[in-house]
Amino acid sequence: MTDHTSDARVEFVVETNVPTDHGVFRFRGYRDLLTGADHLAVLSAKSLGERPLVRVHSECLTGEAFGSRKCECGPQLQAALDRINRDGGAVIYLRGHEGRGIGLLEKLRAYRLQEEGLDTVDANRALGHGDDEREYGAAAAILHDIGAMQVRLLTNNPGKRRDLEAHGIEVVALEPLIVGENAVNQGYLETKRDRMGHLLPDSL
Ligand SMILES: [Zn+2]
């Protein structure tokens, strides 16, 4: 742990303890010097140890604050917090990642198109967006700051591993995080599996 970030991508601002339904965590707040977004490193009370379990999680207001059943972000965040509380680890919570990086209002526009039958990929494309516009440079800088250069990554998304490794983080293992499937989001998860290469079971 360092008091100063060693990567110019983020600036460490503050650390404080936050008791939650999932345990008491240390919240470290960072400012993203490239995008202006605020990000969090949520650290377990249990020490990170070597090769800690890490969830790099993209903000999803609809799923996390409102319990939207169109995605599985809320259950994934809750499961990740339970897991790191139990086993030790960190959740890197990235703001500005709503809708795979297109923003809240564009995500709602994509949802509107999905009501007309487009899947999540085609809806984003119809709005002139990429399939996934997120990048993980800030997450890598935060992991560097907390001394987690080698991680076990809690994700179903191999693209996240590639991007983190491109930013100098070694992902020694991928651990699946398959929670939150429901009747509404089944097609969405199938699209992420079949068109985006996410590691999800054949039958959802
Ligand atoms: Zn979501």
118 with 153, same domain: the answer is no
Say whether 202 is catalytic: no
Counting the structural domains of the chain, the total is 2
Q: 64 alpha carbon to ligand 1 midpoint, in Å?
A: 7
Cβ atoms within 10 Å of 57's Cβ, excluding its own: 24
Indicate which CATH number applies to the domain containing 82. Answer: 3.40.50.10990
Q: Are residues 20 and 31 in the same domain?
A: yes
pTM, two decimals, is: 0.93
- Across residues 87-106, what is the average pLDDT? 96
Quick one: average pLDDT of 92-111?
96
Q: Is 132 a catalytic residue?
A: yes
Whether 36 and 79 map to the same domain: the answer is yes
Least confident of 57-66, 130-139, 192-201: 192-201
47 compared with 5, residue with greater pLDDT: 47
Residues 6+ apart with CB under 8 A from 134: 58, 94, 97, 100, 101, 163
Domain that holds residue 174: 11-97+135-196
